[in-house]
C-alpha cells in the first residue's frame, strides 16, 4: 500500500484520524508556545534579581518531570474508562492551568502551574497515539504514525512562532491566555472531528 490515497481509503474513519493529527499539531503548538518566553517571564517575576537563569531552567523542566511520573498511570486509566476521556481531561485542565499562569505573582506559583501542565501533557500526546493505534488498520500503522510525527513537528514550529509573536505585540501574560484559547480551539475541533466519529 504505497499511495497515500490507498491508505486514506483503508481507514474506517478518515475524519477521525485527520482530526487526531490536527489535535497533535495544536497540542505541540500549545506546549511549545511558551518556550521562547519562559526565562524572560521568570526574569520579570524576579525583577531581574537573583539567579533567574537557573530558576527558569528548573521551571522549564517541571512539566517533563510531571509527564514522566503520570503518563503510564494515565494510560492504564484510559484503557479502563476510555482514552478519549483522558484526552478531554487533559484539554480541560490545560485550559485552566495556562489561563491561571497569566496571573501568577511569583516563581513559586509559576513552577506549580508548570508542573501541573505536565500532568495535562501526559493526558494528551500519548493518548492521541493510543487512539491512532486503536483506529488504524495494522497494515497502515507505520504510515499513520509517520504522519503523526510530521504533525508533531509542525506544531513544534508553529508554537514558538505564535508565542514570540504575541509576546512581541503585547506582553508575556497574553502568551498564556492565547495558549489557553488555542487549547479551547483544540477541544472544539476534537469534539467535531473525533468524538462525533467514534464508533459507539
Cell matching residue 165: 509573536
Which CATH superfamily includes the segment(s) 18-197?
MFS general substrate transporter like domains (1.20.1250.20)
Q: Where are the alpha helices (DSSP H) in 12-104?
A: 14-32, 38-45, 52-81, 83-101
Name the pTM for this structure: 0.91
Exposure of 151 by Cβ count < 10 A (0-12 exposed, 13-18 middle, 19+ buried)? Answer: buried
CA dihedral sign, ordered 183, 188, 192, 194 = positive
Domain edges within the chain: 18-197
Query: Which residue do the cell numbers 496571573 mark?
Result: 103
pLDDT for the residue 199 = 61
Average pLDDT of adjacent 10-residue blocks, the chain of 200 residues: 73 90 95 90 88 90 93 91 94 96 95 95 92 88 91 94 93 94 96 83
Task: Provide the terminal-to-terminal Cα distance of the chain, rounded to the nearest Å.
Answer: 29
Task: Please tell me the distance from the alpha carbon of residue 147 to that of residue 30, in angstroms, as a whole number.
Answer: 19
Amino acid at each position: 500500500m504505497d499511495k497515500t490515497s490507498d491508505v486514506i481509503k483503508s481507514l474506517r474513519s478518515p475524519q477521525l484520524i485527520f482530526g487526531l493529527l490536527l489535535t497533535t499539531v495544536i497540542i505541540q503548538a500549545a506546549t511549545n508556545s511558551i518556550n521562547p518566553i519562559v526565562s524572560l517571564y521568570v526574569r520579570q517575576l524576579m525583577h531581574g534579581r537573583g539567579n533567574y537563569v537557573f530558576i527558569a531552567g528548573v521551571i522549564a523542566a517541571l512539566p517533563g518531570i510531571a509527564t514522566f511520573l503520570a503518563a503510564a498511570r494515565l494510560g492504564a486509566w484510559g484503557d479502563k474508562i476510555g482514552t478519549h476521556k483522558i484526552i478531554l481531561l487533559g484539554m480541560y485542565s490545560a485550559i485552566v492551568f495556562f489561563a491561571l499562569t497569566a496571573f501568577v505573582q511569583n516563581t513559586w506559583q509559576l513552577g506549580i502551574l508548570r508542573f501541573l501542565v505536565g500532568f495535562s501533557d501526559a493526558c494528551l500526546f500519548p493518548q492521541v497515539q493510543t487512539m491512532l493505534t486503536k483506529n488504524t488498520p495494522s497494515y497502515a500503522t507505520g504510515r499513520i504514525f509517520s504522519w503523526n510525527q510530521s504533525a508533531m513537528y509542525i506544531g513544534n514550529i508553529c508554537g514558538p512562532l505564535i508565542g514570540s509573536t504575541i509576546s512581541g505585540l503585547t506582553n508575556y501574560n497574553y502568551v498564556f491566555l492565547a495558549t489557553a484559547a488555542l487549547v479551547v480551539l483544540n477541544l472544539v475541533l476534537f469534539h467535531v472531528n473525533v468524538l462525533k466519529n467514534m464508533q459507539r
